[in-house]
């Protein structure tokens, strides 16, 4: 396993005077594919997302982004839930893949926003007190907000796109500041894909009909 980890952390090329590792390249490719899959309601996005989580665990651990390392592990667990949820769809039967897009309720918005604020404060404190993290607050926010966004994504709540957009706006300068240039560029792409997904999902929810299910192909 050690030779594999060593290869993954080896430099593939240099970008903006920053070395780019093979694991960062893998994270770039799988991450872009995953977000595109979500935007198009492709159920395979969850499997690709898990591969992306594994790659980013290795990458973020090496960059000292401990909050985001933990986040990727939790992401993988939520991905399993999302995969099952999307697969069973509205009728709860395996393979139906017809879960409808819906708006968040007021209660869900309140709970989600409160969870992000409280979790960010708690995680930032733990990172500051227990690790050598140099960016505890943005690291904690990305962790907390991403968990809420992923859970909402698993339930096909439309507003999860807004949360992801804010996360991307925080993540872009965060990754560049930690020398992860390719990942910073990836999150610029994520931002564009999130806007694409938001527009596409909004179009579907305002013109809801059986034909929309064709976008959710396997």
pLDDT at residue 208, as a whole number: 58
What does the pLDDT look like over 120-168, one tens digit per residue? Answer: 999 899 888 887 778 889 988 988 998 899 899 989 999 999 999 999 9
CA trace torsion 152, 98, 200, 204 (10° rounding): -110
Q: CA 67 to CA 60: how far, in whole Å?
A: 9
**24, 69, 176, 205 from 173: Cα distances, Å:** 16, 18, 5, 33
Backbone angles phi, psi at 176, to 5 degrees: -65, -35
Is the model's pTM score more than 0.85?
A: no
Q: Which tokens hold the place of 185?
A: 């560029």
* Crossing angle between the packed helical segments 2-9 and 45-63, to the nearest 10 degrees: 80
Confidence band, pLDDT 50/70/90 cuts, at residue 78: confident
């Amino acid at each position: 396993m050690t030779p594999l980890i060593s290869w993954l952390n080896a430099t593939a090329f240099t970008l903006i005077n920053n070395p780019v590792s093979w694991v960062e390249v893998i994270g770039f490719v799988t991450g872009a594919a995953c977000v595109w899959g979500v935007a198009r309601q492709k159920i395979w996005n969850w499997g690709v997302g898990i591969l992306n989580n594994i790659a980013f665990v290795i990458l973020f651990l090496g960059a000292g982004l401990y909050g985001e390392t933990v986040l990727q592990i939790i992401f993988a667990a939520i991905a399993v839930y999302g995969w099952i949820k999307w697969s069973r769809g509205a009728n709860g039967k395996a393979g139906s893949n017809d879960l409808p897009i819906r708006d968040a309720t007021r209660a869900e918005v309140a709970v989600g926003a409160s969870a992000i604020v409280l979790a960010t404060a708690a995680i930032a404190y733990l990172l500051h007190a227990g690790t050598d993290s140099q960016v505890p607050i943005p690291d904690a926010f990305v962790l907390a907000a991403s968990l809420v966004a992923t859970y909402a994504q698993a339930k096909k709540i439309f507003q999860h796109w807004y949360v992801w957009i804010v996360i991307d706006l925080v993540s872009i300068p965060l990754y560049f500041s930690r020398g992860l240039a390719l990942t910073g560029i990836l999150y610029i792409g994520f931002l564009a894909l999130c806007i694409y997904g938001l527009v596409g999902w909004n179009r579907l929810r305002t013109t809801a009909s059986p034909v929309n299910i064709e976008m959710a192909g396997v």
